[in-house]
Amino acid sequence: MIEKAKNIIQNYNGKPLRIMEVCGTHTHEIFRLGIRSLLPRQVDLISGPGCPVCVTPVNYIDKAIYLAQKGCCICTFGDLVRVPGSESSLAQARAQGGDIKTVYSPEDAMLYATQHPEKKVVFLAVGFETTVPAVCIAVDSAKKNGIDNFSVLTAHKTMPAAYEALKGSADVFIYPGHVNAITGNAVCKELTKQGVSGVVAGFTAEELLMAFAVILTLYEKDTPFFKNCYTSVVKDEGNIAAQKLINKIMTPCDSTWRGLGVIKGSGLMLKSEYSNYDAMIKYDVPDIKGSPNPACKCADILMGKCKPPQCPLFGKVCTPLKPVGACMVSGEGACSAYYQYGENL
């Protein structure tokens, strides 16, 4: 199967196409597995906005720092700690005495709150549909158990509205398998009716090679297509239990994406009955505007308008050790993938 897929990819002789890997994990795995070197010259890969840390706007970091400065204990996944805010980062806030704790799940943060009732614990809830259910479980559990020193600062994003904003930026999308595992495929099928082609892909070498072979075979037929190439995990209807849980705790809201701006209905926030667990309300966080470094091209990279080596700071001023933008920090970021795997223009 792998050999057949490789054969299709290497012998593709059709028209040029731009494929966007929407998900940052796909970007890294395609690099790491050496799949880029198999692709013919006329197949161009561009990275999309599917890295949750990368699309989180700079003012979110500013708000987290504000909360730390107000005495909250910030619990977060590790990547966010080094993402630059407008003037500082959570790492710098920690160096100045801020209580910043790295956790592996929202539940860890909630348990930490139960063990430390004297602390005001705030979990930084970023991520797509994939990570939302775990946040919902933690909030629901905190409410049921009367843990009122736990709250979440939400910046959750949902993909459907983002696809609208991305229309025209690529010829074919590789849809994020983990997201489709929750949401199902209805949105992707609807996009096909509007002329947008794409496949859902898994993350192993075999799954990715299959996905590319399917893309290159179907693209030659000149008709918009959708194909689920990750059927072992992604079902058409998605994960119904997770969808019900999300609908119970969260409600759609407009959301600001780094690079894409405000996209109507592309975010999730806690429903009003859970407002006691919403850090923005609980601690009366002001509407901080935020100002990203103007030299950083993360916004263009996330829209597929340019590639990391085209940023003048790439690899010189901006490296994983001294990141200027989120795309160089995150383990799913396009800049960190290009830096780590050494591809220049």
Q: Which residues bind ligand SF4 (CB under 6 A)?
A: 296-298, 301, 308, 311, 313-314, 318, 324-325, 327-328, 335
What SS3 class is residue 262? strand
What letter represents residue 138's amino acid?
A: A
Length of the chain: 345
Q: Cβ closer to ligand SF4: 52 or 184?
A: 52
Q: Cβ closer to ligand SF4: 75 or 318?
A: 318
Q: Cβ closer to ligand SF4: 51 or 209?
A: 51
Q: How far is the CB of 68 from ligand SF4 (least distance, A)?
A: 23
Q: How far is the CB of 51 from ligand SF4 (least distance, A)?
A: 11
The CA distance from 301 to 310, in Å, is 9
Residue nearest to ligand SF4 (CB): 325
The CA distance from 59 to 282, in Å, is 18
Q: How far is the CB of 97 from ligand SF4 (least distance, A)?
A: 28
Cβ contact 310:92 at 8 Å? no
Q: Cβ closer to ligand SF4: 14 or 315?
A: 315
The CA distance from 312 to 334, in Å, is 15
Q: How far is the CB of 180 from ligand SF4 (least distance, A)?
A: 27
Q: How far is the CB of 236 from ligand SF4 (least distance, A)?
A: 36
Q: In what order do the strands lie in the sheet with 121-127?
A: 100-102, 73-76, 121-127, 150-157, 261-270, 250-257
Q: Cβ closer to ligand SF4: 246 or 328?
A: 328
Burial class of 287 by CB neighbour count within 10 A (0 to 12, 13 to 18, 19+): exposed
What letter represents residue 297's amino acid?
A: K
Q: Cβ closer to ligand SF4: 210 or 324?
A: 324
Q: Strand ranges (DSSP E) for 15-113?
A: 17-23, 43-50, 73-76, 100-102
Q: How far is the CB of 96 from ligand SF4 (least distance, A)?
A: 24
Cβ contact 212:152 at 8 Å? no
